[in-house]
Amino acid sequence: MSVTPRTPILPGATIGFLGGGQLGRMTALAARSMGYDIQVLDPEAACATGPVASRTITARFDDVHAAVELASQCDVVTLEIEQIHPDVLDAVAARTTLHPGRAPVYIIQDRIRQKQWLSAQGFPLGAFVAAQSAHDIAEAVRQHGACIAKSTHGGYDGRGQVRLSEPDQAADAWSALGERECLVEQRVQIAYEISVLVARSASGQTVVYPPSRNHHTSGILTWAVVPAVISDSMTQRAQTLARDIAERLGIVGLLAVECFVTRDDQLLVNELAPRPHNTYHHSERGLATSQFEQLVRAICDLPLGDPQVYAPSAIVNLLGDVWLQDTPPQIEHALDVEGVRLHLYGKAGARAGRKMGHLSAIGTDAQDALGRVLESYRRLSPGTTGSFDVHEPVLAHITS
Ligand code: ATP
Ligand code: MG
For residue 110, being part of any structural domain is answered with: no
Domain encompassing residue 218: 190-387
Question: Is residue 105 domain-resident?
Answer: no
From atom 26 of ligand 1, which residue's Cα is the shortest distance away? 187
Residue 394 has pLDDT above 60, yes or no: no
293 & 356 share domain: yes
Going from the Cα of 72 to the center of ligand 2, the distance in angstroms, rounded, reads 33
| CB 194 less than 6 A from any atom of ligand 1 | no
Which one of the ligands is nearest to 224 CA?
Answer: 1
Regarding beta strands 313-319 and 355-362, do their DSSP bridges make them parallel or antiparallel, or are they unpaired? Answer: antiparallel
* Residue 12 burial class via C-beta count within 10 angstroms: exposed 0-12, middle 13-18, buried 19 and up: exposed
Q: What is the pLDDT, as a whole number, of residue 3?
A: 63
Identify whether residues 294 and 346 lie together within a single domain.
yes
CA max distance for the chain: 59
345: phi then psi, degrees, rounded to nearest 5: -95, 5
pLDDT tens by residue, 175-226: 999 999 999 999 999 999 999 999 999 999 999 999 999 999 888 999 999 9
Q: Is the CB of 21 under 6 A from ligand 1?
A: no
Domain for residue 396, yes or no? no
Residue ranges in 34-132 assigned as alpha helix (H): 64-73, 86-95, 102-108, 111-120
Q: Do residues 304 and 196 share a domain? A: yes
The pTM of the full predicted model, rounded to 2 decimals, is 0.96
Ligand nearest to the CA of residue 260, numbered in listed order: 1
221 lines ligand 1 (CB under 6 A): yes
Question: Residue 193: CB within 6 Å of ligand 1?
Answer: yes
Residues 263 and 236 in one domain: yes
User: Does position 391 have pLDDT exceeding 50, yes or no?
Assistant: no
For residue 164 and ligand 1, the question of a CB distance below 6 A is answered with: no
Whether 267 and 374 share a structural domain = yes
Helices 86-95, 64-73: inter-axial angle, 10-degree rounding: 30
Residue nearest to atom 12 of ligand 1 (CA): 158
Kindly state if the Cβ of 157 falls inside 6 Å of ligand 1.
Answer: yes
- The total of structural domains in the chain comes to 3
Cα–Cα distance measured from residue 29 to residue 377, given in angstroms and rounded to the nearest whole number: 24
- Rounded to an integer, what distance in angstroms lies between the CA atom of residue 368 and that of residue 366? 5
- Whole-number pLDDT of residue 154: 81
Residue 174 CA, ligand 2 centroid: distance in Å: 21
Q: Which ligand has the nearest atom to the CA of 148?
A: 1
Asked whether residue 198 falls in the same domain as residue 167, the answer is no
Between 399 and 314, the more confident residue is 314
- Does 375 score more than 80 pLDDT? yes
Q: Which atom of ligand 1 is nearest to the CA of 156?
A: 6
Give Cα 313 distance to the centre of its chain.
17
> What is the tens place of the pLDDT at every residue in 246-303?
999 999 999 999 999 999 999 999 999 999 999 999 999 999 999 999 999 999 999 9
Please tell me whether residues 286 and 347 are part of one structural domain: yes
Crossing angle of helices 22-33 and 291-299, in 10° steps, is 70
Residue with the smallest CA separation from ligand 1 atom 27 is 187
Cβ of 144 closer than 6 Å to ligand 1, yes or no, is no
How far does the centroid of ligand 2 lie from the alpha carbon of residue 367, in Å? Answer: 23
Q: Which atom of ligand 1 is nearest to the CA of 155?
A: 6
